[in-house]
Structure 1
Amino acid sequence: MEFGNVKRHITPTIEIPTASLGDIVFLLLIFFLVTTSLNAEKGIGLTLPPPGEEVEVSSKNILNVYVNAAGKILVKGEIVELGNLEQVIRENISRNPRLIISLKTDKKAKYEYMVRTLDKIKLSGAKKISLAVPEF
């Protein structure tokens, strides 16, 4: 038997070059890290007083602002439109500069109503704002 004339056919194996795969993955990682934006949630900007003892405040130095479940705003028991709230608070502060605005919101009211009212109170120039806890 002669084996000299038999030619072997070696089929070439197909390979995917993986030498640069690590570089590509690293570049993709850097790309996504750079292009991803993380949006920080914005909250209500309030400066809270330091913890300490409670101070009694005279009722004449407190202006109660109440937001009911329907979104109506009551100041001293009278309904005030949101657009007029800023002016009403300014007038009260001009009469009593030591006035503290106490904002109380109904537990069934939308959060949006409280935030809009608080924004108007801040725009009025009130420096002392109290957020009263609703009664449950």
Structure 2
Amino acid sequence: MVMEILISLTLLFVGIAALVVIHVCVVGRAFRRGYEQSGFAQGGFKMISSDDLKQIPCFEYKAAADRGSSPVDCVVCLENFRMGDKCRLLPNCRHSFHAQCIDSWLLKTPICPICRTRVSPSKVGVILKDGSSVSSDVAIELT
């Protein structure tokens, strides 16, 4: 009689544990699916689409006349900017990168690789030091 009660209790607890595990798996899967579909994936930042990337200003790199200063590098690929390279200027922090490098970076992580500022493509028409606005096909000089 005592043995039957122990077996019954053991089966009861095993059954309850199995139901809890199944519940956690189902709820966890549903939560992850909703989390990924909402666009929030890394650190609570909403991911950037390729359409958003097109809104971030591009420019053609123009080397400084006097090269007394050190060359400017793209921190994503670690290559120097060369005359005529297509570059992109992030609107919030105004850091510059090769367009192809920063595009692939931002599709994975929507933050600046230098200062970790959230990239917001809605801020189009960034104002530069001289007051001119940046748009596509504009050549500017990075110092």
Higher RCO, 1 vs 2 (CA within 8 Å, ≥6 residues apart): 2
Larger radius of gyration: 1
The verdict on a shared fold, with TM-score over 0.5 as the criterion, is no
Q: State the TM-score bracket (shorter-chain normalisation).
A: under 0.3
Normalising by structure 2, report the TM-score.
0.27
